[in-house]
Amino acid sequence: MYAALSGAQWVVGKALAPVADGVLEAWAATRNFGFNIEALSMELMLVKATLEQAGRKELGGPAMEMLLHKLRDSAQNAEDLLDELDYFRIHDELHGTHDAAGEHDKGCFHNLAFNARHTAKAFGKLVNCAKPRQRSHSDSSAPDTNQELSGCMPKIGKLLTCSSSPHPHVRDDDRGSVQETPKLEFNRVYFSQRMKDIVEKLQLMRNEVSKILIHCGPRTVPDIALSRPITKSRIDEPKLYGRDHVMNSIIHDITEGQYYDKGLTVLPVVGPGGMGKTTLIKHIYRNQQVQNHFSVMIWICVSLNFNLDKVLEQIKTCTPQVGMEKEGSTTEDLIEQRLKYKRFLLVLDDIWRISNGDDWKKLLSTLNQSEERGCMILVTTRFQAIAQKVKTTGQSIELNGLEYEEFRKLFLAFVFGDEECARDKHFLLETGDKIMEKLKGSPLAAKTVGRLLSKELSLRHWKRVLKSKEWEKQTDDNEIMPALKLSYDFLPFYLKQCFSYSALFPEDYRFRSHELINLWIGLDILIPGGQNQVVQDIGLSNLNELVIHGFFREEETSDGLHYVMHDLLHDLALKVASHDCLSLHFSDVGSVDIQPSTHHLSIRTENLVSSQNIKSELEKLKTSLKVEHLQTLMLFGEMDKGFAKIFGDIWGEANALRVLYLPDMTYHVESMLHNFSGLVHLRFLCLGTNEWQMHLPLSILKFYHLRVLDLKSWHGSCDFPEDMSNLAKLCHYYTPRDADLHSDIYNVGKLKLLEELKVFQVNKKSEVFELKQLEHLTKLRELGIYNLEKVHTKDEAAQAKLIEKNYLRKLTLDWDSDRSTVEPGVEAMVLENLRPHGDLQMLCIRGHGDPSCPTWLGDELVVDALQSLSLYCVSWGVFPSLGKAWDLRQLRLEHIYKPKEFTIEKNFCMLIKLELIGLGSFEKWVYPAEQESSVSGDLLPPDAHMFPLLQVLIIRECPKLLGLPFLEHIVSPDWFPKLQELEVCDCPEFLPVIPISWMESLCFVKMKCIKMLKEFGYSKSSNGAELEIIGEGDLHSIDQVLVFDKETSLGKLKLERCPPLELKHLLMLTSLKTFIVRKSDGLVGPRGQGDVEWKLPVEYIKINDLHGNTGEELTELLPHLPKLSKLEIFECENIKKLVVGVDVQPTTQETSEMGGGEITAAAAAAEEEDDGVLLFPAHLCDSLRELVFYDCPELVLVDPPTLVPGEGGFQALRSLQRLTILRAPKLLSTFSFSRHLFPSSLQFLSLVGVEGMETLEPLSNLSSLTRLELIRCGKDLKCQGLWSLLTTGGQLNKLRVTGSHRFFADWDPNPRRALEDAEGGEEWQTQLVSSTLRELWTDDIAGLLAAPVCTFLSSSLTKLQLWGDLCEGMELFSKEQEDALQLLSSLQKLEFWSFKDLQQLPAGLRKLTSLKILLVNCCPAISSLPNDALPDSLEMLDVYNCSEELKQQCRGLEGTIPDIIII
């Protein structure tokens, strides 16, 4: 009820806005016309007064609510009318016309003729009017004496007739789709009659409301707190889902962690309604460890109002009495006495508001008297502001939705009473998963919806719940929607509007702040709190409040800050705004309840159906709502030409639009809205397209009420309008290229409400680009002035009046760095007179040519609110001191060549980001107390914290800088306690010495091209920490750049061109899992402390192109790596022999002196034969999963003398799953291939250039093999032995064989014959064995395309890639090959590669009825597709680097095949 009242008050206030300053009344001051406006204004004032009186009365009943809605609609009619009149007033003012002037300047006689002409026009339209047309926004069906007359009046869109001026950028054949710029025609009699009608309706309804109010008593404001359930500490849900980690962490911190021995600690738990805050605290409260820890435990449900007296009374009641209590003591005194020697836990559940901050301080003061350490207060709240106010620690616990798996268990527990779904109910889970996705992890939603679904375990019921979102209809206070609506009811009206209208965007939309604020501006719901506010500030303030109240969540991404609304809150927004707001998918039009009162509509158009269905659905939509009442229309998703035409034909009466949002147009806007040029009420217009030939409609320049023009997504023709000065109310103008398009605005000085002008180029074209254009742009928040070298006097500079721009927050002042001449004195004078207002927050100065900075930035700092300063290519001899800029957060100095020193100011205590780039003379850091002393001296206090908040430090191209500001360049952690990112690049004299302990406090370090280092990179993520060091020639020890002062948490270490790691370094790598060394002198260096037993958790090692005795070093390292599962050896010519499965003991000091480890006599003998031996210790037989040898030309695998009979080769590695041998031709040269060489555990085997095998019999034991690659493994290699890998007992599904041109030749995989030969029996005659092979790459075309082979593969093979490298001279496939190919009935993807001479694809491809993808690559002689066409199943045709004839034929198939790629 009172929402309807507030809505009506808001609309009446908007309607009065055009007449508030008297300008419109003065304009219309004629004998009849001015009187009508005065009468309408007076009636609106009376309605406003009546509504104010209603706000003090107790209202009730649906009839009263309906009456208020009708009153609001009539007020909306008044707003429309006054808005249209104001439009014509602006038009007359801009163009000097008299279409709607009060007194014509040619005299009284002319006025009579003028009035007569208007009357005649109106009468003519009345005579020709065939039937009445409803104008009113009211839903009233009461008789209207003026209905016939007002119905015949033309709508505002009809008042605009087209001119004969064609669009200058449109070809003749395109003009039909682009509406021309309209001329305006004003009908005085029509407007007078409309005003009279509206006044009568308003008066009638006002009188009726007044009569009702006489009988209404005074209003009693309901206490929201009364609708809140009082929480108790009793646990309702015995199991806590998804919060175990949080709960255990809090319990640990309370009972033995960070809060254990502290004074009173307040820890808030914050999150939206229904997230389980109270449930979590209940489980903590009832935990036995917690109960043992506290002697006094108190639970208080605070709810809406924090009442100090009530809270203190409850605390007193819950605390046990002590002896010697004084009579007459106050409640505070008694609490202090009782808790003085007690450790207590106080839970304050569900705090909504602390009206008096002093009350909270008094409570803490009372409870702080306890002498026991570790006392706790746990607070639950929905609001971040409350959490910030009460917390005493550096953190609060923020609860969001549960993780999916935990949420699923909770959901199923509420549905089925158990976490698992019964087997006979599994058919419900697909629908259940879709429902769960909507609930986004909300525990209360799981409870609400779970119980709703449990009522009927049928698919019909579950689908109905999903489709209709029945959980929205639940009304019990403990259900999810009432719980969320309670937060909504708590909001003031202006925030309720901002929240509810945000639901016009789709679910899961990731908002940028300007998208929300622009919508709010377009709907006129941003109400200034005072005269000194701009709409952007108001919008940001409202958005921040909604975040604080939990209605939006902030998400920081690489693309900037976004805002997200939970799906349930989106549903709530639509529900509370359902009277006049609707958001739907186009396909749901028939099933959604559409209110005729809908004024705001958004439609999602993904996956549009046929044109006939589109027309039908649009007609349904038009029938259900009143198109002429729509104020908002937003379309999300692409719209084709058919949709645009039908939409335009049906929706031509949408004349009242304030917001039009079309970011994905594929056709002209005039085709979608034929009356586009008549949308005179528009406040917010967003147009976007990717159609490069599409033009912007020139009628944009006639939208005088427009406040936001968003063309950010416009990628059509770039003929943006330049003369936009008509749009005097424009606040925001977004374009895809601000630099070009903002700078093109003619007479920008007329846009006095503009808040951003990112680029203004001085004297760009004519006098309309002089600095004086900026004089009256007092609302600017962001401004960039360029080409300042064209300003020559202080008077010119002063004309910009920057000092008077109170709202200016971001300013760029730019002199062209490539200008031919520099006038230092002139430029100094100009910059001095461009002094900005003191509230400026972000300043960038580029290219200034004077050797000194302006006084307002130097010692006489005026811009003391500065938060960001960027100086680029200025000629200043010293940097500005900035000593008074105590709020400075970001500082960037770039390409400034004169200054030698950088003074570390005391006010840098707030600095978050510091960038020093291209400072050619910079060589010394200076501490302010000792200007003449370098920071590297002894005068710097050892405990100085000069950058306490710095998070990002970037230094580039500073050739003389020796290091960071530390003694001997060793980083002091005291200086950068908050640093997260460090970057130093192209500073050849820079030498940091970084302790591991300091490095690991950072998230990211990047150093390139500095002394001794080509690159030093450190990064930390959820996957662990990673360090990469690439050294230069003068790096002789890791200690020169990295101090191993503690055990490191590094999970990955990559070294390139570095000295070997010493044992002292290895002992610190206690968390290392990945170790990669490339192009270095060795793997590990001298191993002192050899008597220390040590092991590392390394799982993956890769070595590449190492010098020295790599085999020995790796042999000594491997015994210390019990978890090693992956080993890759690349380009190591100095490893010559490999022995697998040797018992190598870990190195000790004694064995190290004896020559490298206690190994078996057999292994020692192998080592003595030749150096370069690599021994695999026995434990690798069980731990190693993957092994790669790449470019090891001398490496030979040898069996140890103690070989167990029947084993050999790699068989000892019994856990090995993946083996790759590439360009290691000698590796298997000592083996005859007459026995098995590889372990049966292998799943992947790739052999490249490994010759010697004649058949695949040595692989026949690989029953787990799923992928096999044999590339250039001998021309005579045959496939005998393959059958066992592809049939019973085998799992091979991917096979690649190239370079063996007779691999499949004469192979008959007929299982019957093979089994007869093997068993000699008749019982196998009828048994069929299917192949496991699904993907095959081969160049043996002749061998493969034989009937026996293709028959064998027919049921399994889905992908076939044929290579023509070995098919020189092959022009056609033979008939037998074509027939064989057609047998592959399961084939889904077929590829032809590099058939140089092939002239035609094989015939019969149409018979491959499962084929979806056909690819033809590098087959230049093929000129056409098969004559018998392609299969109907084909979804993609990909032709690359083939003949033009073939490409042309493929282009002709567009439309018959969904996806055709031609390159």
| % residues pLDDT > 70 (the chain) | 81
Is the distance from CB of 1252 to CB of 1277 less than 8 angstroms? no
d(CA 1038, CA 1033): 13
Kindly tell me the burial class for residue 212, based on how many C-beta atoms sit within 10 Å of its own C-beta (0-12, 13-18, 19 or more): middle
Q: Which helix (H) or strand (E) element contains residue 1140?
A: strand 1137-1142
Is 80 exceeded by the pLDDT of residue 240?
Answer: no
Relative to beta strand 756-761, strand 952-956 is unpaired
Instruction: Tell me what pLDDT residue 95 has.
Output: 75
Instruction: Tell me what pLDDT residue 316 has.
Output: 87
Q: Which helix (H) or strand (E) element contains residue 687?
A: strand 684-689
Is the distance from CB of 1300 to CB of 1275 less than 8 angstroms? yes
Instruction: Tell me what pLDDT residue 174 has.
Output: 41
Query: How does pLDDT run across 750-766, given as a tens digit for each residue?
Result: 999 999 999 998 886 66
Is 70 exceeded by the pLDDT of residue 1165?
Answer: no
Q: Which helix (H) or strand (E) element contains residue 376?
A: strand 376-381
Q: Where are the alpha helices (DSSP H) in 96-187?
A: 108-128, 147-151
Q: Is 787 left (phi over 0), alpha (psi -120 to 50) or beta?
A: left
Q: Look at residues 551, 563, 468 and name the one whose alpha carbon lies nearest to residue 513.
A: 563
Is 80 exceeded by the pLDDT of residue 967?
Answer: no
| % residues pLDDT > 90 (the chain) | 25
Higher pLDDT, 202 or 29: 202
Is 80 exceeded by the pLDDT of residue 928?
Answer: no
Instruction: Tell me what pLDDT residue 139 has.
Output: 41
Other CB atoms within a 10 A radius of the CB of residue 1205 amount to: 5
Highest mean pLDDT among 871-885, 1299-1313, 1350-1364: 1350-1364
Confidence of residue 709 (pLDDT cuts 50, 70, 90): very high
d(CA 465, CA 459): 10
The per-residue b/e assignment along 342-381, b for 16 or more CB within 10 angstroms, e otherwise, is bbbbbbbbbbbbbeeeeebeebeebbeebebebbbbbbbb
Is the distance from CB of 127 to CB of 58 less than 8 angstroms? no
Which of 565-569, 848-852, 1215-1219 has the lowest average pLDDT?
565-569
Highest mean pLDDT among 404-418, 856-870, 1317-1331, 1431-1445: 1431-1445
Instruction: Tell me what pLDDT residue 259 has.
Output: 83
Is the distance from CB of 781 to CB of 534 less than 8 angstroms? yes
Instruction: Tell me what pLDDT residue 39 has.
Output: 81
d(CA 324, CA 40): 76
- Write down the residue that tokens 């199923």 correspond to: 412
Confidence of residue 221 (pLDDT cuts 50, 70, 90): low
Is 70 exceeded by the pLDDT of residue 925?
Answer: yes
d(CA 1281, CA 1256): 5
Instruction: Tell me what pLDDT residue 176 has.
Output: 39
Instruction: Tell me what pLDDT residue 281 has.
Output: 87
Is 80 exceeded by the pLDDT of residue 474?
Answer: no
Other CB atoms within a 10 A radius of the CB of residue 1046 amount to: 12
Higher pLDDT, 25 or 302: 302
Is 80 exceeded by the pLDDT of residue 395?
Answer: no
Which of 223-227, 728-732, 811-815, 1043-1047 has the lowest average pLDDT?
223-227
**DSSP states along 1224-1291:** -TTTTTT--SSS--S-TT-SEEEEES----SSSGGGTT-TT--EEEEESS-TT---TT-HHHHSTT--
Which of 16-30, 188-202, 1386-1400 has the lowest average pLDDT?
16-30
Other CB atoms within a 10 A radius of the CB of residue 1302 amount to: 16
Adjacency order of strands within the sheet including 1137-1142: 1173-1177, 1137-1142, 1196-1198
Is 80 exceeded by the pLDDT of residue 179?
Answer: no
Output the CA torsion sign for 1150, 1152, 1154, 1159.
positive
Is 60 exceeded by the pLDDT of residue 1090?
Answer: no
Which backbone phi and psi does 831 adopt, to 5 degrees?
-65, -35
Q: Which helix (H) or strand (E) element contains residue 893?
A: strand 890-894
Confidence of residue 242 (pLDDT cuts 50, 70, 90): confident
Is 60 exceeded by the pLDDT of residue 1194?
Answer: yes
Amino acid at 319: T
Higher pLDDT, 475 or 431: 431
Other CB atoms within a 10 A radius of the CB of residue 766 amount to: 8
Instruction: Tell me what pLDDT residue 1458 has.
Output: 84
Higher pLDDT, 1225 or 130: 1225
Higher pLDDT, 685 or 206: 685
Q: Which residues pair with 1415 in a beta bridge?
A: 1391, 1438
Instruction: Tell me what pLDDT residue 360 has.
Output: 87
Region 234-262: mean pLDDT is 80
Is 50 exceeded by the pLDDT of residue 1147?
Answer: no
Higher pLDDT, 145 or 363: 363
Confidence of residue 1199 (pLDDT cuts 50, 70, 90): confident
Which of 485-494, 1115-1124, 1150-1159 has the lowest average pLDDT?
1150-1159
Q: Look at residues 1230, 1169, 1225 and name the one whose alpha carbon lies nearest to residue 1203.
A: 1230
Q: How far is CA 1224 from CA 1134, 1136, 1171, 1192, 1262, in A?
A: 13, 11, 18, 5, 22
Q: Where are the alpha helices (DSSP H) in 490-610?
A: 493-501, 513-522, 535-548, 567-576
Is 60 exceeded by the pLDDT of residue 1156?
Answer: no
Region 692-716: mean pLDDT is 88
Instruction: Tell me what pLDDT residue 1373 has.
Output: 93
Confidence of residue 1408 (pLDDT cuts 50, 70, 90): very high
Query: How does pLDDT run across 72-90, given as a tens digit for each residue?
Result: 888 888 888 888 888 888 8
Instruction: Tell me what pLDDT residue 458 has.
Output: 79
Tokens of 649: 């034909």
Region 784-802: mean pLDDT is 92
Instruction: Tell me what pLDDT residue 126 has.
Output: 35
Instruction: Tell me what pLDDT residue 138 has.
Output: 38
Q: Which residues pair with 307 in a beta bridge?
A: none
Instruction: Tell me what pLDDT residue 101 has.
Output: 46
Higher pLDDT, 1389 or 196: 1389
Is 60 exceeded by the pLDDT of residue 849?
Answer: yes
Which backbone phi and psi does 1203 adopt, to 5 degrees?
-60, 135
d(CA 1349, CA 1327): 17
Higher pLDDT, 1082 or 1152: 1082
Quote the mean pLDDT of the chain. 80
d(CA 603, CA 581): 12
SS3 1052: strand
Instruction: Tell me what pLDDT residue 204 has.
Output: 86
Instruction: Tell me what pLDDT residue 608 has.
Output: 62
Confidence of residue 115 (pLDDT cuts 50, 70, 90): very low
